[in-house]
Structure formats: structure tokens, C-alpha cells
Amino acid sequence: MGKEFLLQTSGDPRTGKGSCILFESGNPIDVIEFALPDNGNQAASAIDEYHKLRQDRFQKLSELYTELTEESDVAILEKLAISLIDQKLYEEALTVLEKAVAQTPGNSRLVNFLGLTYFEKEDFGKACANFEKAIEANPDFPDYHNNLGRALLKQGSCYQSSRCFEKAIQLNVYFAEAYYNLAMAVIVNGIKKEDYNLARNLEDNATNLLAKSVGFNPAFKNDFLQKGLDALENKDLETAFIELSLGYDLATKGKFPKKTYDFHLEYLSKNDLLREDKVVRHIMNLRKMLDVHPNYPDLYNELGIAYTVLVQFHSDRAIESFQTALKLNPDYRTAMKNLKLIENELKGLKTLLKAILK
């Protein structure tokens, strides 16, 4: 991608944790931690394997980025952008997203991704501008209002951000993040004293909003939340905001990371060049992730897609078998019929897979 990166993977046997760090121009841009086996030799092998897998994945993404320079399929560009965002390659993601948005200006999802990418780059002005465009295109999507509220709050706009969170809650009364963010806006307003009405009954309002967020998403109930509530009770708003911000980051970071887009991307861009062993490995990885996160519907959906892709390889083998039968006996009518049926089925399957993966 025209840049030099360094990937470093190491482990600390005292803590039982390994870390894989991606550097760009000497700066760490992505850090992933993973558990290590107790056995020293197994730990060393685990570090080596993790490093090779991450390096291989990054290299393939880099190759795809180069190969898809002239790509015009917006669905493929979207998957490429999300894969780049997953790797914290925000500049490259912006290039891809801006190209995709130029082709489909009314696509609110792509514009929202643009906003999220600028948010990660801490360019909150551009983030707000894109979230506003996404809302204009699709005003009934609560996440867009919540995202705009977060960007506004980063700029210190307490009242405006609170209205965004309230709108998100109006559209989805079970939106835990919006309740949590609204509580944060209330607390920041107490510090900045921007809006009088928002400051009334501050402690009670913030506490009730946080209780609702925990009720809808137990991940928000962590040590930072309790520290924030204690500080709130003592009217130490600055400390409350710091602790609750850490609690928010912990809770939202704990979500299942959607780092499977590279598989979709590779199938859509390479299709027949995708190898069966890649699909099998992907299925095995998903099953391992399901052992850790058995209640994530996204993972089961991904597993279903992977099995559907695997069916294509089995269909290809079936076609080869029928063709071999016909080479041995050109007049074998049953094999002729079966070959036509499976060929028609495979055409439909490939169309189905592209629709599912897009």
C-alpha cells in the first residue's frame, strides 16, 4: 500500500498473555492481545502461529487493496474498507470509502462508515458532517443519531449531543449505548454548564440513565461504572466522566469484533481462485470463536455463509465426477441428466452466495 509496516508478536509467560502489535512509521496502530498456553513450548508455538496468521492476513489485504484499485463494485469496496478499518488503516479506508460514496451518494451506510473512520482519526468535524449526511439519507436509523451525538460530545456540545441521544432512544427504546451516552452528556453539561434544563437533577438523571443502559446491556456493569457512580454521588463530575468513559470503552470493545469481512472480500473478488482449505480454516476459526462467544448470532450467521461457500466446492467435485462418468461412457443418460442439474444448481448457488456476501 506504499507504506512500510512492522508486525511484532511476543508473549509474557508470567501473565499468560501474548500481544501482536502493528506499527506504521514507528507508531503502534493496532494491538491485539491473546491467551497463551501454560506450557512453554506450546506458548512459543502459539506466538509463532499467531504471528504468521496475522502477517498472512495483512499481506493478503495489502494485495487486495492493490488489485482492487480499479474496482467499481460498491459492495466489494465496502468490504475492503471495513477490512482496512479492522486493521486500523484509516487513511486507506477513507480512500476506498470516498470512491464508493462518489458512486452511490445516497448510500447512508457508506457515509456512516466515513463518519466512523473520521471519528477514529479524531477529526470530529468531518465525522459530524458525514453522520449528518447519513441521517439526512436515512433519518430513522438510531445508530446514526447516536454516532452524531458522540462526535458532538467530543466537541463539547452537550445540549446538541443530548438531543441526538434522545432521538436515538426515541427510535429504539432498548438502545443501551444511547442511554449511557446521554448520561455522559448530562455529566459533561454539569461541568461545562452549557444548558440549565439539562443540569437539573443531574445526579439522579445520570444514575437512572446508566441503570437503564446496564439493564439493556450488562456489559456496561463493570468496575469503572461503579467508580463513576461513586464519584457522581460525591459530586466529583470530572472523575465520574473519566471513569464512565473508561467503562464505555471497555463495554463496547468487548463486543464481538466483525473481523470476518476479509473472507467475504476474498470470495467476491477472487471467487473461483479461493481455495477450499481457506474456507475450511475459516470454518474452524469461527467454531473456536463460538466456543468463547456462544451467544453471538453474527458468528452463527458467518458460519452459515462459510458452509454455503463450502457447498460450492462439493458441487464442483460432483460436476467433475459426472464428467468423468461421461468420459468413460458418453451415452450414460443418468449422468448427463445429473450433470445438467448440478450445473444449473451451481449457477444459482453462485448467484445466491454473491447476494449473501454483499
202-225: per-residue pLDDT in tens? 999 999 999 999 999 888 999 999
Mean local confidence (pLDDT), 147-153: 96
Confidence at residue 256, expressed as pLDDT on a 0 to 100 scale: 42
User: 134 Cβ partners below 8 Å, 6+ apart?
Assistant: 108, 109, 111, 112, 115, 141, 144, 147
How much is the pLDDT for 355?
A: 63
Ramachandran angles phi, psi of 2, nearest 5°: 80, 15
Beta bridge partners of 27: 24
| Rounded Cα distance, 229 and 232, in Å | 5
| pTM, 2 dp | 0.76
Question: ∠ at Cα 213 (211, 219), nearest 5°?
Answer: 105
The pLDDT assigned to 59 comes to 85
Greatest extent of the chain over all pairs of C-alpha atoms, in Å = 89
What pLDDT is stored for residue 170 in this prediction? 96
Task: Check residue 228 and give its pLDDT.
Answer: 94
- What is the rounded distance in angstroms from the CA atom of residue 331 to the CA atom of residue 348? 27
| 102-139 core/surface letters (b: 16 or more CB in 10 A; e: else) | eeeeebbbbbbbbbbbbbeeebbebbbbbbebbbebbe
Q: Could you tell me the pLDDT band of residue 257, with boundaries at 50, 70 and 90?
A: very low
Cβ atoms of 97 and 117 within 8 Å: the answer is yes
